[in-house]
Structure 1
Amino acid sequence: MTTVKEAAFDVLRRHGLTTIFSNPGSTEVSLLTGLPDDLRFVLALHEGSVVGMATGWAIGRDAPALALLHTTAGLGNAVGAIATARAGRVPLVILVGQQDRRHLALEPFLAGRLGGLAGDYPVWADQPVRAQDVPGALARACHEAATSRGPALVVVPMDDWAAEFDGEIMAAPKRLLRLAAVADHELAPLVELLAGARSPAIVTGAGADWASLVSLAERLACPVFQESFGGRAGFPQDHPQYAGVLPADRTRLRTVLGAYDVVLTVGAPVFRQYPYVPGPLVPPGTFVALVTADPAEAHRSPADLAFLAPPAAVCARLAALLPARSGAPVTPWEVPAVLEPPAGGRPLRAAHVLRELARRLPADAALIEETPSSRPDLHRLVPARNPLGFVSAAMGGLGFAVPAAVGLRLALPDRPVVAVVGDGSALYGLHALWSAAHYRVGALFVVLANGRYAVMDRLADKQGGKAPWPPFTEVDMGGLARSLGCPARRVDTYDELTAVLDEVLPSLSAREEPLLLDVTVTVDPDFQP
Structure 2
Amino acid sequence: MQAPQSPGITVRDAVLDLMRRLDMTSVFANPGSTELPMFRDFPADFRYVLGLQEAVVVGMADGYAQASGKAALVNLHSAAGVGNAMGNIFTAFRNRTPLIITAGQQARSILPFDPFLAASHATELPKPYVKWSIEPARAADVPRALARAYHIAMQEPRGPVFVSIPVDDWDQPGELLEATEVTTRSRPEPEAIAALATALHRCERPAIVVGSELDRAGAWDEVLRLAETSNARVFVAPMSSRCSFPEDHDLFAGFLPAMREKIVQLLNGHDLIFVAGAPAFTYHVEGSGPHLPPGAQLYQLIDDPVTASWTPSGTAIVGNIQLGLQDLLAQLLKHPPAARPLPPARAARPRAEPETPMSAAFAMQTLAEVRAAEDIVVEEAPGSRPTMQAYLPFTRPGTFYTMASGGLGYGMPAAVGVALARPQQRVIGLIGDGSAMYSPQAIYSAVQLRLPLTFVIINNRRYAALQDFAPVFGFGADDVVQGTDLPGLDFVALAQSMGCQGVRVSEPGELAAALQTAISSNEPRLVEVVVR
1:380 equivalent in structure 2: 390
The 5 Å alignment of 1:14-33 reads 14-33=21-40
Match of 2:98 among 71, 91, 95: 91
Taking the aligned partners of 2:188 and 2:306, their CA distance within structure 1 comes to 20
1:110 equivalent in structure 2: 117
Match of 1:197 among 203, 212, 217: 203
Taking the aligned partners of 2:449 and 2:470, their CA distance within structure 1 comes to 41
1:445 equivalent in structure 2: 455
Match of 1:255 among 240, 248, 265: 265
1:365 touches 1:388 (CA, 8 Å); kept in 2?
no
2:104 touches 2:164 (CA, 8 Å); kept in 1?
yes
Match of 2:163 among 131, 154, 171: 154
Q: Give the C-alpha shift of residue 186 in structure 1.
A: 4.7
Match of 1:468 among 455, 463, 482: 482
Cα deviation 1:87-118 (Å, max 9, x = unaligned):
11211111111111122122211111222212
1:428 equivalent in alignment to 2:422: no
Cα deviation 1:387-413 (Å, max 9, x = unaligned):
223211110011111100001001101
2:4 equivalent in structure 1: none
Q: Give the C-alpha shift of residue 314 in structure 1.
A: 1.1
TM-score in terms of structure 2 length = 0.93
2:148 equivalent in structure 1: 140
1:290 touches 1:305 (CA, 8 Å); kept in 2?
yes
1:89 touches 1:206 (CA, 8 Å); kept in 2?
no
State the AA in 1 paired with 2:132: W
Q: Give the C-alpha shift of residue 227 in structure 1.
A: 0.9
1:326 equivalent in structure 2: 339
Q: Give the C-alpha shift of residue 166 in structure 1.
A: 4.2
Question: Could you say what secondary structure the match of 2:141 adopts?
Answer: helix
1:206 equivalent in alignment to 2:212: yes
1:245 equivalent in structure 2: 255
1:525 equivalent in structure 2: none
The 5 Å alignment of 1:259-298 reads 259-298=269-308
Match of 1:340 among 353, 366, 371: 353
2:373 touches 2:396 (CA, 8 Å); kept in 1?
yes
Q: Give the C-alpha shift of residue 216 in structure 1.
A: 1.2
State the AA in 2 paired with 1:496: E
Aligned CA RMSD, in angstroms, stands at 1.6
1:20 touches 1:41 (CA, 8 Å); kept in 2?
yes
Taking the aligned partners of 2:518 and 2:481, their CA distance within structure 1 comes to 39
Q: Give the C-alpha shift of residue 296 in structure 1.
A: 2.0
Question: Could you say what secondary structure the match of 1:207 adopts?
Answer: helix
1:335 touches 1:380 (CA, 8 Å); kept in 2?
no
Taking the aligned partners of 2:184 and 2:375, their CA distance within structure 1 comes to 30
1:215 touches 1:316 (CA, 8 Å); kept in 2?
no
- Listed as ranges, the gaps of 5+ residues in structure 1 are 523-529
Number of residues paired by the alignment? 512
1:417 equivalent in structure 2: 427
Q: Give the C-alpha shift of residue 185 in structure 1.
A: 4.1
State the AA in 2 paired with 1:71: S
Match of 2:507 among 493, 507, 519: 493
2:366 touches 2:512 (CA, 8 Å); kept in 1?
yes
2:143 touches 2:177 (CA, 8 Å); kept in 1?
no
2:3 equivalent in structure 1: none
Cα deviation 1:127-165 (Å, max 9, x = unaligned):
111111111111111111111311111111111111101
Question: Could you say what secondary structure the match of 1:409 adopts?
Answer: helix
Taking the aligned partners of 1:94 and 1:280, their CA distance within structure 2 comes to 41
1:367 equivalent in structure 2: 377
Q: Give the C-alpha shift of residue 181 in structure 1.
A: 4.7
State the AA in 2 paired with 1:498: A
The 5 Å alignment of 1:26-175 reads 26-112=33-119, 113-147=121-155, 148-167=157-176, 174-175=180-181
Taking the aligned partners of 1:417 and 1:494, their CA distance within structure 2 comes to 22
1:454 equivalent in structure 2: 464
1:482 equivalent in alignment to 2:491: no
Taking the aligned partners of 1:67 and 1:303, their CA distance within structure 2 comes to 39
- Listed as ranges, the gaps of 5+ residues in structure 2 are 1-7
Question: Could you say what secondary structure the match of 2:456 adopts?
Answer: strand
Of all paired residues, the percent bearing the same amino acid is: 37
Taking the aligned partners of 1:439 and 1:168, their CA distance within structure 2 comes to 33
State the AA in 2 paired with 1:159: D
State the AA in 2 paired with 1:123: K
2:410 touches 2:439 (CA, 8 Å); kept in 1?
yes
1:213 touches 1:316 (CA, 8 Å); kept in 2?
no
Q: Give the C-alpha shift of residue 348 in structure 1.
A: 0.7
Taking the aligned partners of 1:437 and 1:165, their CA distance within structure 2 comes to 38
